[in-house]
Amino acid sequence: MSRVQLALNVDDLEQAITFYSTLFNTEPAKRKPGYANFAIEEPPLKLVLLENTGQGGTINHLGVEVETSEQVHGEIARLSQAGLFTEEQIATTCCFATQDKVWVTGPNAEKWEVYTVLADTENFGTAPEFATGDSEAVRACCGSEAEGETARDESGACCTSEAKEKAIASGAGCCS
């Protein structure tokens, strides 16, 4: 089953979890510091909540979750053949999961991904390679600078969930 993904920036993660749990009558499928996602069956929706203080109520990014890597590769071929610039990320870690994905940018600079989840991880992950440090695409997987998450270690990885939790508690930058 494929489903649309909607990733929202929220100011208060706990408040947003309470609201969306009530709205969709379900609990989050995954909860981590500054992050939660819901796998809603009806309507089929992957709702991702990213705590980005000061950005609440805005779209972080959009996506389509598919079942297999073959479907992702099929979309890479189709979108490339249609002339859309694509950025492929194979076996990348983003949003506490190892994923195969392709990114495209819509006509109004909205970021879309077609992806499949290969496995859960304890690390939040890395940002899309085509993005600069202050772009929407980086915030899609690394959070906002206001949250102290866009800093990366030497490998280019965003903050681990443990580092993020400590940083939020102390008010420091995640990877600093």
- The pLDDT value recorded for residue 162 is 52
- Say if residue 5's pLDDT is above 50: yes
Q: Let me know the angle formed at the C-alpha of 71 by 156 and 26, rounded to the nearest 5 degrees.
A: 80
What are the pLDDT digits (tens) for 125-167? Answer: 764 433 333 433 334 444 433 334 334 343 343 444 455 455 4
Strands 45-51 and 3-10 turn out to be parallel
- 114 in Cβ contact with 35 (< 8 Å): no
Domain boundaries, the chain: 3-123
Q: Which residue has the higher pLDDT, 39 or 84?
A: 39
Global model pTM greater than 0.95: no
Q: Which residue has the higher pLDDT, 163 or 55?
A: 55
Instruction: Tell which CATH architecture fits domain 3-123.
Output: Roll (3.10)
